Amino acid sequence: MSYAIECKDLTKRFGDFKALKNVNLSVDKNRILAILGHNGAGKSTLIRVLSTIMHPTEGKVFIDGKELKEDDTLLRSKIGLLSHNSYLYSNLSAKENLKFYSSLYNLKDPDKRIDEILKKVNLYDRRNDRVGTYSRGMTQRLSLARALLHQPSILLLDEPETGLDRDSMELLWEIVRTDDTERTVIFTSHNFQSTVKICDEFIIMKKGSVVHRQDNNGITESDLEKIYSEVNEGKK
Protein backbone atom coordinates (compact mmCIF):
# COMPACT_ATOMS: atom_id res chain seq x y z
CA MET A 1 0.00 0.00 0.00
CA SER A 2 1.31 3.44 -0.92
CA TYR A 3 1.71 6.25 1.59
CA ALA A 4 -0.47 9.35 1.42
CA ILE A 5 2.70 11.43 1.36
CA GLU A 6 6.29 10.32 1.02
CA CYS A 7 9.39 12.50 0.84
CA LYS A 8 12.69 11.03 -0.24
CA ASP A 9 15.91 12.94 0.47
CA LEU A 10 14.06 16.22 0.21
CA THR A 11 16.33 19.24 0.19
CA LYS A 12 15.33 22.87 -0.31
CA ARG A 13 18.00 25.54 -0.71
CA PHE A 14 17.63 29.31 -0.75
CA GLY A 15 20.99 30.41 -2.12
CA ASP A 16 23.56 28.84 0.21
CA PHE A 17 21.01 28.31 3.00
CA LYS A 18 19.50 24.85 3.31
CA ALA A 19 15.94 25.22 4.64
CA LEU A 20 15.34 21.46 4.33
CA LYS A 21 18.13 18.90 4.59
CA ASN A 22 17.55 15.42 3.22
CA VAL A 23 14.11 15.04 4.74
CA ASN A 24 12.77 11.49 4.56
CA LEU A 25 9.19 11.26 5.71
CA SER A 26 6.29 8.96 5.01
CA VAL A 27 2.75 9.46 6.26
CA ASP A 28 0.12 6.72 6.11
CA LYS A 29 -3.34 7.46 4.77
CA ASN A 30 -5.93 8.89 7.18
CA ARG A 31 -3.33 9.78 9.80
CA ILE A 32 -2.92 13.14 11.51
CA LEU A 33 0.72 14.21 11.72
CA ALA A 34 1.91 17.23 13.70
CA ILE A 35 5.13 19.00 12.78
CA LEU A 36 6.77 20.76 15.70
CA GLY A 37 9.90 22.87 15.83
CA HIS A 38 11.31 26.29 16.60
CA ASN A 39 10.85 29.18 14.17
CA GLY A 40 13.11 28.61 11.17
CA ALA A 41 13.22 24.82 11.69
CA GLY A 42 11.80 24.26 8.19
CA LYS A 43 8.16 23.44 9.05
CA SER A 44 6.56 25.99 6.73
CA THR A 45 9.04 25.25 3.94
CA LEU A 46 8.12 21.57 4.17
CA ILE A 47 4.40 22.42 3.97
CA ARG A 48 5.03 24.71 0.99
CA VAL A 49 6.98 22.02 -0.84
CA LEU A 50 4.27 19.42 -0.12
CA SER A 51 1.60 21.82 -1.35
CA THR A 52 3.55 22.29 -4.64
CA ILE A 53 3.94 26.05 -4.12
CA MET A 54 7.69 25.45 -3.90
CA HIS A 55 9.76 22.93 -5.80
CA PRO A 56 12.38 20.90 -3.99
CA THR A 57 15.99 21.60 -4.91
CA GLU A 58 16.79 17.89 -4.56
CA GLY A 59 14.79 14.79 -3.71
CA LYS A 60 11.31 13.63 -4.54
CA VAL A 61 7.78 13.93 -3.18
CA PHE A 62 5.16 11.25 -3.76
CA ILE A 63 1.43 11.81 -3.29
CA ASP A 64 -0.58 8.56 -3.13
CA GLY A 65 2.44 6.79 -4.60
CA LYS A 66 2.74 9.11 -7.59
CA GLU A 67 5.69 11.41 -7.97
CA LEU A 68 4.78 15.08 -7.76
CA LYS A 69 5.84 16.84 -10.95
CA GLU A 70 6.00 20.58 -11.47
CA ASP A 71 2.68 21.00 -13.27
CA ASP A 72 0.71 18.05 -12.00
CA THR A 73 -2.76 19.50 -11.75
CA LEU A 74 -4.39 16.14 -10.90
CA LEU A 75 -2.26 15.60 -7.79
CA ARG A 76 -2.73 19.21 -6.76
CA SER A 77 -6.50 18.68 -6.72
CA LYS A 78 -6.00 16.10 -3.93
CA ILE A 79 -4.38 18.69 -1.64
CA GLY A 80 -6.03 21.31 0.54
CA LEU A 81 -3.85 24.04 2.02
CA LEU A 82 -4.45 26.40 4.92
CA SER A 83 -1.52 28.75 5.20
CA HIS A 84 -0.53 31.90 7.11
CA ASN A 85 -2.26 33.75 4.27
CA SER A 86 -5.98 33.20 3.78
CA TYR A 87 -5.83 33.21 -0.06
CA LEU A 88 -9.16 35.04 0.01
CA TYR A 89 -10.03 38.16 -1.96
CA SER A 90 -11.11 40.97 0.34
CA ASN A 91 -13.26 42.64 -2.35
CA LEU A 92 -15.34 39.49 -2.87
CA SER A 93 -17.93 37.97 -0.54
CA ALA A 94 -17.40 34.61 1.16
CA LYS A 95 -19.69 32.94 -1.36
CA GLU A 96 -17.97 34.58 -4.34
CA ASN A 97 -14.56 33.52 -3.04
CA LEU A 98 -15.68 29.91 -2.66
CA LYS A 99 -17.44 30.00 -6.03
CA PHE A 100 -14.19 31.19 -7.61
CA TYR A 101 -12.17 28.38 -6.02
CA SER A 102 -14.87 25.84 -6.92
CA SER A 103 -14.32 26.78 -10.58
CA LEU A 104 -10.56 26.28 -10.22
CA TYR A 105 -11.16 22.86 -8.63
CA ASN A 106 -13.90 22.03 -11.17
CA LEU A 107 -16.48 21.06 -8.53
CA LYS A 108 -19.72 19.41 -9.57
CA ASP A 109 -22.72 21.13 -8.00
CA PRO A 110 -20.63 23.86 -6.32
CA ASP A 111 -23.57 25.79 -4.84
CA LYS A 112 -24.65 22.84 -2.69
CA ARG A 113 -21.10 22.23 -1.46
CA ILE A 114 -20.51 25.94 -0.78
CA ASP A 115 -23.67 26.24 1.32
CA GLU A 116 -22.77 23.04 3.17
CA ILE A 117 -19.22 24.13 4.02
CA LEU A 118 -20.32 27.67 4.94
CA LYS A 119 -22.81 26.22 7.42
CA LYS A 120 -20.09 24.01 8.83
CA VAL A 121 -17.78 26.97 9.55
CA ASN A 122 -20.70 29.06 10.91
CA LEU A 123 -20.46 31.69 8.19
CA TYR A 124 -23.62 30.94 6.23
CA ASP A 125 -25.40 34.03 7.58
CA ARG A 126 -22.50 36.24 6.50
CA ARG A 127 -22.01 34.54 3.12
CA ASN A 128 -22.80 37.67 1.08
CA ASP A 129 -20.58 40.01 3.09
CA ARG A 130 -17.23 41.01 1.73
CA VAL A 131 -14.29 39.17 3.27
CA GLY A 132 -12.60 42.53 3.95
CA THR A 133 -15.21 43.12 6.68
CA TYR A 134 -14.46 39.80 8.47
CA SER A 135 -12.56 39.44 11.75
CA ARG A 136 -9.34 37.39 11.87
CA GLY A 137 -11.18 34.36 13.26
CA MET A 138 -13.90 34.51 10.61
CA THR A 139 -11.31 34.86 7.85
CA GLN A 140 -9.44 31.84 9.18
CA ARG A 141 -12.68 29.80 9.30
CA LEU A 142 -13.49 30.80 5.74
CA SER A 143 -9.93 29.94 4.75
CA LEU A 144 -10.48 26.49 6.22
CA ALA A 145 -13.72 26.23 4.23
CA ARG A 146 -11.71 27.12 1.10
CA ALA A 147 -9.13 24.43 1.91
CA LEU A 148 -11.83 21.79 2.50
CA LEU A 149 -14.12 22.89 -0.35
CA HIS A 150 -12.96 20.27 -2.85
CA GLN A 151 -12.83 17.52 -0.21
CA PRO A 152 -9.10 16.91 -0.51
CA SER A 153 -7.64 13.60 0.63
CA ILE A 154 -4.61 15.48 2.02
CA LEU A 155 -4.98 18.57 4.19
CA LEU A 156 -1.94 20.72 4.96
CA LEU A 157 -2.31 23.26 7.77
CA ASP A 158 0.49 25.71 8.48
CA GLU A 159 0.05 27.04 12.02
CA PRO A 160 -3.73 27.11 11.62
CA GLU A 161 -4.31 28.43 15.15
CA THR A 162 -2.42 31.69 14.64
CA GLY A 163 -4.56 34.61 15.79
CA LEU A 164 -7.51 32.47 16.86
CA ASP A 165 -9.20 32.56 20.27
CA ARG A 166 -9.88 29.31 22.14
CA ASP A 167 -13.42 28.85 20.81
CA SER A 168 -12.33 29.40 17.21
CA MET A 169 -9.45 26.97 17.73
CA GLU A 170 -11.80 24.28 19.02
CA LEU A 171 -14.20 24.87 16.14
CA LEU A 172 -11.34 24.61 13.64
CA TRP A 173 -10.18 21.25 14.97
CA GLU A 174 -13.75 19.98 15.28
CA ILE A 175 -14.34 20.75 11.58
CA VAL A 176 -11.09 19.07 10.57
CA ARG A 177 -11.95 15.96 12.57
CA THR A 178 -15.64 15.69 11.75
CA ASP A 179 -15.59 16.47 8.01
CA ASP A 180 -16.98 13.45 6.13
CA THR A 181 -14.00 12.84 3.85
CA GLU A 182 -11.29 10.40 4.90
CA ARG A 183 -8.07 12.31 4.79
CA THR A 184 -4.50 12.64 5.88
CA VAL A 185 -3.82 15.81 7.84
CA ILE A 186 -0.40 17.37 8.33
CA PHE A 187 -0.19 20.46 10.48
CA THR A 188 2.52 22.63 11.99
CA SER A 189 2.03 24.04 15.45
CA HIS A 190 3.62 25.64 18.49
CA ASN A 191 0.65 24.64 20.63
CA PHE A 192 1.44 21.44 22.59
CA GLN A 193 -2.01 21.31 24.18
CA SER A 194 -3.88 20.95 20.91
CA THR A 195 -1.11 18.85 19.37
CA VAL A 196 -1.48 16.05 21.95
CA LYS A 197 -5.25 16.18 21.54
CA ILE A 198 -5.33 16.09 17.75
CA CYS A 199 -2.40 14.20 16.29
CA ASP A 200 -1.84 10.46 15.78
CA GLU A 201 1.89 11.04 15.58
CA PHE A 202 4.32 13.94 15.63
CA ILE A 203 7.72 14.87 14.29
CA ILE A 204 10.13 17.47 15.59
CA MET A 205 12.20 19.44 13.11
CA LYS A 206 15.45 21.21 13.82
CA LYS A 207 17.53 23.22 11.36
CA GLY A 208 15.80 21.72 8.32
CA SER A 209 15.96 18.08 9.42
CA VAL A 210 13.47 15.70 11.04
CA VAL A 211 15.21 14.84 14.32
CA HIS A 212 12.46 12.99 16.16
CA ARG A 213 9.34 11.01 15.28
CA GLN A 214 6.89 9.43 17.68
CA ASP A 215 3.36 8.02 17.84
CA ASN A 216 0.98 9.89 20.10
CA ASN A 217 -0.12 6.88 22.24
CA GLY A 218 -1.87 9.11 24.77
CA ILE A 219 1.12 11.34 25.44
CA THR A 220 0.47 14.22 27.85
CA GLU A 221 1.24 17.85 27.19
CA SER A 222 4.02 17.89 29.81
CA ASP A 223 5.58 14.73 28.31
CA LEU A 224 5.57 16.38 24.90
CA GLU A 225 7.13 19.55 26.30
CA LYS A 226 9.86 17.46 27.93
CA ILE A 227 10.58 15.54 24.72
CA TYR A 228 10.59 18.77 22.73
CA SER A 229 13.09 20.41 25.09
CA GLU A 230 15.36 17.37 25.14
CA VAL A 231 15.35 17.08 21.37
CA ASN A 232 16.13 20.76 20.91
CA GLU A 233 18.88 20.66 23.52
CA GLY A 234 20.34 17.65 21.74
CA LYS A 235 19.81 15.25 24.66
CA LYS A 236 17.58 12.95 22.64
| HEC per residue, 62-106 | EECCEECCCCCHHHHCCEEEECCCCCCCCCCEHHHHHHHHHHHCC
Residues interacting with other proteins, by CB under 8 A?
A: 51-55, 70-71, 73-74, 76-77, 79, 81, 83, 85-92, 96, 100-101, 103-106, 146
Bridge partners of 82, per DSSP, are: 157
Q: Nearest distance from residue 73's CB to other proteins, in Å?
A: 4
Q: Nearest distance from residue 90's CB to other proteins, in Å?
A: 6
The residue among 62 and 100 lying less far from other proteins, judged by its C-beta, is 100
Cα within 13 Å of Cα(75), Cβ side? 18
Closest CA to 117 of 81, 87, 144: 144
The residue among 52 and 195 lying less far from other proteins, judged by its C-beta, is 52
The residue among 27 and 107 lying less far from other proteins, judged by its C-beta, is 107
Q: Nearest distance from residue 152's CB to other proteins, in Å?
A: 10
Q: How many CB atoms lie within 10 A of CB 213?
A: 11
DSSP assigned state of 153: S
The residue among 71 and 180 lying less far from other proteins, judged by its C-beta, is 71
Q: Nearest distance from residue 107's CB to other proteins, in Å?
A: 10
Q: How far apart are CA 12 and CA 23, in angstroms?
A: 9
Q: Nearest distance from residue 138's CB to other proteins, in Å?
A: 15
The residue among 49 and 227 lying less far from other proteins, judged by its C-beta, is 49
The residue among 44 and 195 lying less far from other proteins, judged by its C-beta, is 44
Q: How far apart are CA 159 and CA 53, in angstroms?
A: 17
DSSP assigned state of 40: T
Q: Nearest distance from residue 224's CB to other proteins, in Å?
A: 30
* Whether 75 contacts 13, CB under 8 Å: no
Q: How far apart are CA 109 and CA 5, in angstroms?
A: 29
